Structure 1
Amino acid sequence: MADLVKGSLPAGVVSAFLAAVGDIALILSGDGMIVDITVGHGELASQEFADWVGTAWIDTVTIESRPKVAEMLADAAKPGAQKALRWRQVNHVTPGGDVPIRYLMLALGDDDHLIAIGRDLRGAAVMQQRLLQAQQAIERDYIRQRQSEIRYHMLFDSVSEPVLIVDAEDRRIREANPAAYRLLDASPGDLAGRALTEIVAPEHRDDLIAYLGAAEVTDDRAPLGLRMVNGRGDASLSARLFRQASKPLFIVRIETIPESNAVPQFDALLGSVIERMPDSFVLVDRELNVLTANSAFLEMTEVSSIDRVVGLQLGKWLGRPGIDLELIVGQLREHGAVRNVATIMRGAAGSKEEIEVSAVCAPMGDSECYGFTIRDVARRERGVPVSPGDVPRSVGQLTELVGRMSLKDIVRESTDLIERLCIEAALVYTSDNRASAAEILGVSRQSLYSKLHRHGLGNLVPAEI
């Protein structure tokens, strides 16, 4: 090829040739026959094109590209063709598949030979394919995002409870659902940009600001009771922090309280006192599902928040399984109250504490509920000194006898202890009704009277006879 080109190109053509050096060069005769081939690109295998020498250029391309080849050959033969250089893309047929190449056609001076300088477009095609895939992925993500936004707005607007989206930095309302506009008697769009404190009565605005500050650091804040602005009644407001595009926002839910069900001031005060009680308090329904509890109960059960106990069975923590709680509830339903019943409290982490329970039954609509006060007595009992001659009163005191008495004597003492404790518990549960106590313990009355005498708990002859 070098011999063919040497000395035959004018300076202008050589300059154009050097400026447009590509990946492949074809030397063509005037009628379009391939005279020589030079491959200058590593990805183009020269053996794929070696058989083209002596072949018509138009026969090496696909059917769709043949009109382009014919046009380039015709244009190159026209006078002044060097001034109207134009790149054209054709697809070559190779054993490895179609190869897209972009050609620039030049005439070789006064000779009737032509040179076609080509650039491999497969790399660009790969990049275009990747760009297309990226665009399609972006489009799919955009469609999914739009669908999510549509579902969000449908859900947000269909909720019957007033809901506000509030900026956590300036405490201003960003969005409100139709229920919130109805509650505040506002036209669509009027709430956006307003301060959240404007929707509550002036005397409760400081409480609302403090509540939002606490809601920024914890998610288990109890709802805040307050009065709405312009005499719209009492409401319960709860807020939870979330982030959108790295911006902190509050989702604020408002639950209106009908006037007939509004909590009087002294009831709120009573609830505050119960919450601060050192003794545990828990309220359950007739099925012993927890309705509410104070902080001392959460601490004793080793549970982090009230949400984790509401709805669960009280027996999960209180009493020995299958024994204590059933007897306590039986006495509650029969007598309406029990006092100072000794039992145990089991914590979520596996701890056990000895406690005393008092409980009362109260009406709740068409059913009833039970209120339990629970006092930890383990420390008090551990502080009572035990002498070897005294009868042990607890398992802890029994273990203190190790080293002072033989195992045989300790076992005998523990048997007597269990028997005495069970009899005492049965008498407490039955309000000292010995016939009922004997039935609960599964012994005859005469056997119970004998045990009462042996343990010094009563006379041999029953009082009720």
Structure 2
Amino acid sequence: MRDLAGDTRDFPDVEQWLGRRWIDTVTQESRIKIEEMLAHPPAAVPNWRQVNHSGTSELPLRYRAIRLANGATVAIARDERATARLQQRLLQVQQSLERDYLRLRQAESRYRLLFEMTAEPMLIIDSATLRVREINPAASQLIGAHNSLAGQPLVAQVSADYRDRLIAFLGAAATGANVAPVHLVLARSDRGISLSARLFRQQGDGYFLVQLAPTEHRQIDAKEHLILDLVERLPDAFVLTDNALTIVTANSAFVELIQEATVEPLAGRPLGDFLGRPGIDLDLIRAQVGEHGVARNVATVLRGSLGGIEEVEVSAVRTGEAQAHYAFTMRMVARRLRDLPPVTRDLPRSVEQLTDLVGRMPLKDIVRESTDLIERLCIEAALNYTSNNRASAAEILGLSRQSLYSKLHRHGMAKADDTEAAAE
């Protein structure tokens, strides 16, 4: 090199290059590039070539060498250290991605092996189309499929009578709720199964991880079919619970009353979430069933999932001992009473009738009923004692004649002449 220009602060080894051959200042792999640039003919337009200089640290520079007419060569350089750092970072990121991809492939292989080898029947279902995406051998054997079910509708694998139940169950599971397993019957083998599903998402799409388990299933005869159909069509709500008052099943009227879409999300939930005042009404019903074998027309309220409240009358029975179950029927009293024309309600005539009102109405209303009963009985006794002489009866009772006539009207005991006397 005859002459060079460069900032020694940026290029600390540049002064050592002066007087040396250009090719001796670069690394071994860059020497051929120097030879090609020096051999470039003068008339041609040279290209940029990157070379690495050796020294205290490797220095990457991009050169364009221009051959002059007198045989000398002028080389113009650009600093490529920033670009080299970016390239190094890009290489590191690429290597990291390759390592992550390798780990992902290994994990996928392990999980796929578990999915295929597990003895538990499992499927992966597309939540949008309800078609089978993956199925393991255990599920294929349980369903009785000789060929792969990939791409086939899941509902086609169950008996026609249970397809609506399966669709409703998957709709409830799609909301992310923890839904109790649903009992179905397979179409090919007429075998009973328990199906549970869990929603998961992958790359923006939803899928169900479905687990199957065989259950005991027996054919239901025509009489049982008729009974089940009648219970489902009852206008009154019907609920079946276990001994802990946890809902096992319910009919459509109950589902409508509590403002739910299907019965599947209700299975496994306490009946106390919907029926009665907490800690009062259900305990009262259970006590009556335990003492008398049945509870009849217990007045309480039914709370809906959306905040609605209906006044209902509840009747209940229990069956079995070791695995006892309770059956509840509920009738909407408030709605029925609103639809009826207003009528005059007879007052209770005895203490027994008053005590029967406990549980049907608040204490303050019972006290008011008691007061009206005592007042009416006293007026009747005074009238009988005075042979229906209104003036004498009012004197005995310590009332004015106008007050007595007013009470007679209130209790429905007044006559036409009582109205004229009150006017006087």
| Unmatched tracts of structure 2, length 5 or more | 364-369, 378-424
Is the Cα–Cα contact under 8 Å of residues 285 and 369 in structure 1 kept in the other structure?
Answer: yes
Q: Does 1:353 align with 2:353?
A: no
Number of the residue aligned with 1:301:
258
The Cα shift of 1:137 comes to 5.5
Question: Equivalents in 2 of 1:214, 1:130: separation in Å?
Answer: 53
Question: Equivalents in 1 of 2:136, 2:303: separation in Å?
Answer: 45
Q: Does 1:57 align with 2:17?
A: yes
Alpha carbons of structure 1 residues 215 and 130: separation in structure 2 relative to 1, 3 Å? farther
Number of the residue aligned with 1:341:
298
Q: Name the aligned partner's letter for residue 176 of structure 1.
A: I
Number of the residue aligned with 1:367:
323
Per-residue CA shift, 1:76-121, capped at 9, x if unaligned? 99xx844699945225889xx975213355665546x543332332
Alpha carbons of structure 1 residues 211 and 121: separation in structure 2 relative to 1, 3 Å? farther
Q: Secondary structure of 2:356's match?
A: helix
Question: Equivalents in 2 of 1:72, 1:195: separation in Å?
Answer: 64
Per-residue CA shift, 1:347-381, capped at 9, x if unaligned? 334433221001010116x2311111011100233
Is the Cα–Cα contact under 8 Å of residues 162 and 178 in structure 1 kept in the other structure?
Answer: yes
Q: Secondary structure of 1:180's match?
A: helix
- Equivalent residue for 2:60, pick from 100, 119, 128: 100
| Unmatched tracts of structure 1, length 5 or more | 1-27, 30-34, 39-45, 394-418, 429-440, 442-449, 458-465
- Equivalent residue for 1:385, pick from 334, 342, 346: 342
Is the Cα–Cα contact under 8 Å of residues 215 and 240 in structure 1 kept in the other structure?
Answer: no
Q: Name the aligned partner's letter for residue 225 of structure 1.
A: L
Q: Name the aligned partner's letter for residue 369 of structure 1.
A: H
Per-residue CA shift, 1:161-210, capped at 9, x if unaligned? 433446789987553212123325667xx325585689859xx4x66777
| Identical amino acids, percent of aligned pairs | 36
Question: Equivalents in 2 of 1:455, 1:144: separation in Å?
Answer: 89
Alpha carbons of structure 1 residues 69 and 214: separation in structure 2 relative to 1, 3 Å? closer
Number of the residue aligned with 2:191:
233
Number of the residue aligned with 2:215:
257
Question: Equivalents in 2 of 1:208, 1:285: separation in Å?
Answer: 23
Number of the residue aligned with 1:423:
355
Is the Cα–Cα contact under 8 Å of residues 100 and 122 in structure 1 kept in the other structure?
Answer: yes
Question: Equivalents in 1 of 2:213, 2:36: separation in Å?
Answer: 84
Question: Equivalents in 1 of 2:116, 2:33: separation in Å?
Answer: 68
Alpha carbons of structure 1 residues 211 and 326: separation in structure 2 relative to 1, 3 Å? closer
Number of the residue aligned with 1:128:
87
Number of the residue aligned with 2:283:
326
The Cα shift of 1:340 comes to 1.2
Is the Cα–Cα contact under 8 Å of residues 166 and 251 in structure 1 kept in the other structure?
Answer: yes
Question: Equivalents in 2 of 1:174, 1:250: separation in Å?
Answer: 10
Per-residue CA shift, 1:360-411, capped at 9, x if unaligned? 10116x2311111011100233345266x976x9xxxxxxxxxxxxxxxxxx
Question: Equivalents in 2 of 1:47, 1:342: separation in Å?
Answer: 98
Per-residue CA shift, 1:184-237, capped at 9, x if unaligned? 5667xx325585689859xx4x667777877887657994733442x5634466
Alpha carbons of structure 1 residues 120 and 420: separation in structure 2 relative to 1, 3 Å? farther
Question: Equivalents in 1 of 2:79, 2:246: separation in Å?
Answer: 77
Q: Name the aligned partner's letter for residue 332 of structure 1.
A: V
Q: Name the aligned partner's letter for residue 373 of structure 1.
A: T
Query: Counterparts of 1:268-287 in structure 2 under 5 Å?
Result: 268-287=225-244
Alpha carbons of structure 1 residues 90 and 50: separation in structure 2 relative to 1, 3 Å? closer
Question: Equivalents in 1 of 2:29, 2:97: separation in Å?
Answer: 38
Question: Equivalents in 2 of 1:363, 1:310: separation in Å?
Answer: 20
Question: Equivalents in 1 of 2:207, 2:4: separation in Å?
Answer: 72
The Cα shift of 1:343 comes to 1.7
Alpha carbons of structure 1 residues 427 and 344: separation in structure 2 relative to 1, 3 Å? closer
Question: Equivalents in 2 of 1:356, 1:270: separation in Å?
Answer: 23
The Cα shift of 1:47 comes to 7.9
Alpha carbons of structure 1 residues 37 and 258: separation in structure 2 relative to 1, 3 Å? same
Q: Name the aligned partner's letter for residue 268 of structure 2.
A: G
Number of the residue aligned with 1:178:
137
Q: Secondary structure of 2:60's match?
A: strand
Question: Equivalents in 2 of 1:49, 1:164: separation in Å?
Answer: 64
Q: Secondary structure of 2:305's match?
A: coil
The Cα shift of 1:281 comes to 1.3
The Cα shift of 1:335 comes to 2.0
TM-score (norm 1): 0.57
Q: Name the aligned partner's letter for residue 271 of structure 1.
A: L
Q: Name the aligned partner's letter for residue 79 of structure 2.
A: D
Question: Equivalents in 2 of 1:424, 1:123: separation in Å?
Answer: 93
Q: Name the aligned partner's letter for residue 368 of structure 1.
A: A
Per-residue CA shift, 1:282-338, capped at 9, x if unaligned? 122222222222232233223444344333322222222333221210111122211
Question: Equivalents in 1 of 2:123, 2:309: separation in Å?
Answer: 44
Number of the residue aligned with 1:118:
77
Q: Secondary structure of 1:367's match?
A: coil
Question: Equivalents in 1 of 2:254, 2:33: separation in Å?
Answer: 95
Per-residue CA shift, 1:19-57, capped at 9, x if unaligned? xxxxxxxxx31xxxxx2438xxxxxxx68469988x332
- Equivalent residue for 1:376, pick from 323, 328, 332: 332
Alpha carbons of structure 1 residues 455 and 145: separation in structure 2 relative to 1, 3 Å? farther
Is the Cα–Cα contact under 8 Å of residues 37 and 50 in structure 1 kept in the other structure?
Answer: no
Number of the residue aligned with 2:246:
289
Query: Counterparts of 1:201-220 in structure 2 under 5 Å?
Result: 204=159, 219=173
Q: Does 1:311 align with 2:268?
A: yes
The Cα shift of 1:267 comes to 3.5
Question: Equivalents in 2 of 1:427, 1:241: separation in Å?
Answer: 44
Is the Cα–Cα contact under 8 Å of residues 283 and 293 in structure 1 kept in the other structure?
Answer: yes
Question: Equivalents in 2 of 1:337, 1:142: separation in Å?
Answer: 66
TM-score (norm 2): 0.62
Question: Equivalents in 1 of 2:33, 2:137: separation in Å?
Answer: 72
